[in-house]
């Protein structure tokens, strides 16, 4: 009986030794793969690659912030630029026979600007300029001038369309 115990004990030890050998091989294989994964394709470690990417992202965020500030400054400048133009041609006098008279309105984003009218007649031609603030003038506006202002007002567009993207602050 004692011999059968020794044989069983020897078989158990051999089985445990085989299991340990298999586990050691798997561990060595996984260790090798882990080192390759952490090393990366260019020889840099994963940690160094992540640090490099983080530094690049920080630099890009600074550039984006600077660009956004420049865009805001440009938008302020564009608000004072002529952005809406309206033209109306008309026949001021029945005997002239053509639409040689006109009214032109030039507006900025706040509807400030000027409306210029030219009245053409056979004997003479007259040109008038009337300043505008908020789309209104201190001077009397004719119907054609008011129509030119309305056309220019409809032509005004926002400088930047809403992209739907929320800014993080």
pLDDT at position 18 over 50: yes
Regarding whether 89 and 62 lie in a shared domain, the answer is no
> Which range marks the domain in which residue 94 is found?
82-155
pTM of the entire predicted model:
0.57
Greater model confidence, 46 or 43 = 46
Regarding whether 97 and 143 lie in a shared domain, the answer is yes
pLDDT at position 169 over 60: no
Mean pLDDT of 5-17: 90
Please, which contacts does 78-81 make with residues 24 or more away whose CB atoms are closer than 8 Å?
A: 78/109, 78/159, 79/108, 79/109, 79/110, 79/159, 80/108, 80/109, 81/108
Confidence band (pLDDT; 50, 70, 90) for 45?
Answer: confident
pLDDT of residue 123: 83
pLDDT of residue 104: 97
Greater model confidence, 3 or 168 = 3
SS3 state at 112: coil
Highest mean pLDDT among 1-5, 35-39, 101-105, 153-157: 101-105
Total domain count for the chain?
3
39 burial (CB, 10 Å; 0-12 / 13-18 / 19+) is middle
Alpha carbon 20 to chain centroid, angstroms: 60
**CA atoms within 13 Å, Cβ hemisphere of 56:** 6
Contact (CB, 8 A) for 110 and 159: no
Residue 164 lies in a domain: no
Mean pLDDT of 121-136: 91
- Closest by CA to 84, choosing from 102, 109, 103, is 109
Q: Which helix (H) or strand (E) holds 89?
A: strand 84-90
Sole residue written with tokens 């984006």: 64
Regarding whether 107 and 64 lie in a shared domain, the answer is no
Average pLDDT, the chain: 86
The DSSP code sequence of 15-58 is HHHHHHHHHHHHHHHHHHHHHHHHH-TTS--HHHHHHHHHHHHH
Residue 11 lies in a domain: yes
Residue 162 lies in a domain: no
Regarding whether 54 and 17 lie in a shared domain, the answer is no
Residue 166 lies in a domain: no
Residue 143 lies in a domain: yes
Q: Helices 46-79 and 2-39 sit at what angle, rounded to 10 degrees?
A: 30
Confidence band (pLDDT; 50, 70, 90) for 167?
Answer: very low
């Amino acid at each position: 009986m004692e011999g059968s115990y020794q044989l069983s004990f020897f078989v158990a030890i051999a089985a445990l030794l085989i299991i340990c050998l298999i586990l050691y091989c798997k561990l060595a294989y996984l260790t090798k793969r882990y080192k390759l994964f952490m090393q990366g394709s260019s020889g840099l470690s994963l940690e160094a690659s992540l640090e490099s990417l983080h530094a690049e992202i920080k630099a890009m965020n600074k550039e984006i912030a600077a660009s956004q500030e420049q865009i805001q400054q440009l938008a302020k400048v564009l608000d004072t630029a002529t952005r809406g133009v309206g033209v109306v041609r008309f026949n001021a006098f029945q005997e002239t026979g053509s639409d040689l008279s006109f009214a032109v309105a030039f507006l900025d984003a706040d509807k400030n600007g000027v409306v210029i009218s030219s009245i053409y007649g056979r004997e003479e031609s007259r040109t008038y300029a009337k300043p505008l603030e908020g789309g209104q003038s201190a001077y009397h506006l004719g119907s054609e001038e008011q129509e030119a202002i309305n056309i220019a007002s409809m032509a005004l567009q926002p400088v930047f369309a809403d992209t739907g993207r929320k800014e993080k602050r």
